Amino acid sequence: MQSVLGIETSCDETGVAVYRAGAGIVAERVYTQADHAAYGGVVPELASRDHVRKLPGMIHQVLADAELAPADLDAVAYTAGPGLAGALLVGAATAVALAAAIGRPAIAVHHMEGHLLSPLLDVDAGLDFPFVALLVSGGHTMLVEVRAIGAYRLLGETLDDAAGEAFDKTARLLGLGFPGGPEVARLAATGDDQRYAFPRPMVNRPGLDFSFSGLKTHTRLLIGRVDPADHADVAAGFERAVVETLVIKCRRALQQTRLQRLVIAGGVSANRRLRAALDSALPGQVYYPPLALCTDNGAMIAHAGWHRRREGRCDGQISVRARWPLTELSVPTDLPT
């Protein structure tokens, strides 16, 4: 099996890429929808329509970039969930139709598995199983023990907001743009992260779950009483609180599992402060996707699809799941519970 086309449409990024065995990602394009910024969050109906508009042309372009005809593809992988149902359906219908037209299998990929496996795309990094993965995106915050492809055990997750969501909401409170993570990080870089005290949610409780809603409330109340000129200090203190909370839980997860390697993936893994803090807390143990592949993209879907296809996976029907627990992907038998 040589070349797999990957299609990502779970939210507001349209991503298309080709993964080729032995060569890695040979062509890739991502289109980030801009219309949502005016609404301060992703509008599902707008997202679906934009995917419809962009996807066919992007598939043509990516195949041309890869110097492939559709018939040269060995499989077509697509994000089947979790995500916005209408947006997912655009990618799923397109992928299944294309696969049927060329007589190849379509492969339904779990979006978070795409993120989780993306650090393997950097073969020079030398990542190998087993590892602990911290998945931090706009919709998810979880720690997963990864023994092999498909052998996932949930160690902990957020009880309320996801880390990226906390960044997005804080950005909105600070009057910054969407998506909020990069905007908060930019403002935080000019601020004093010690000026205001912030809670470190749940770090004193045992276990590996997260909660960010208390931090969000704290930040909202603080913003209500400080001068806008001090917003950079608020952003810096908030970012530091999120980063430190994540670092504490990651270190705890490695201790509990007695594993040596930590993978960080999902949009928030692009955060430079988080990367720096993890690198200094766990030197030589942390693996990231390439920066460009932290946020949603087609490359991670093509790559995960290639692994799943190698296992013989084939999904002929158009089916998507807006909610889809990662742990349902497989029931590993060799993991201690």
Binding to ligand KG4 by residue 33, rule CB under 6 A? no
Radius of gyration of the chain (CA): 20
| Cβ–Cβ < 8 Å for 201, 211 | yes
Binding to ligand KG4 by residue 113, rule CB under 6 A? no
Across the chain, where does the E strand assignment appear? 3-8, 13-20, 24-32, 75-81, 106-110, 131-136, 141-148, 151-157, 262-265, 286-287
Per-residue interface string for the shown chain with Zn ion, residues 112-151, x marking contact by CB under 5 A: -------------------------x--------------
Closest separation between CB of residue 2 and ligand KG4, Å? 28
* Long-range CB pairs of 194-198, under 8 A, 24+ apart, other chains included: 194/237, 195/230, 195/233, 195/236, 195/237, 196/222, 196/226, 196/233, 196/234, 196/237, 197/237, 198/237, 198/238, 198/240, 198/241
Binding to ligand KG4 by residue 271, rule CB under 6 A? yes
Look at the block and give the residue holding tokens 């890739």. Answer: 28
Nearest to ligand KG4 of 105, 266 (CB atom): 266
Within positions 244 to 263, which residues make up the interface with ligand KG4, using CB under 6 A? none
Please choose, from the candidates 56, 113, 106, the residue with its C-alpha nearest in 3D space to the C-alpha of residue 83: 113
Nearest to ligand KG4 of 137, 245 (CB atom): 137
Within positions 34 to 73, which residues make up the interface with ligand KG4, using CB under 6 A? none
Within positions 285 to 324, which residues make up the interface with Zn ion, using CB under 5 A? 296
Closest separation between CB of residue 80 and ligand KG4, Å? 14
- Binding part of the chain for ligand KG4, among 56-64, 133-141, 207-215, 285-293 by CB under 6 A, reads 133-141
- Binding part of the chain for ligand KG4, among 65-73, 164-172, 208-216, 254-262 by CB under 6 A, reads 164-172
Q: Which amino acid, 236?
A: A
* CA–CA dist 278, 251 (Å, integer): 9
Q: What residue ranges bind Zn ion (CB under 5 A)? A: 137, 296
Q: Residues interacting with ligand KG4, by CB under 6 A?
A: 11, 137-139, 164-165, 167-168, 179-182, 185, 266-268, 270-271, 295-296
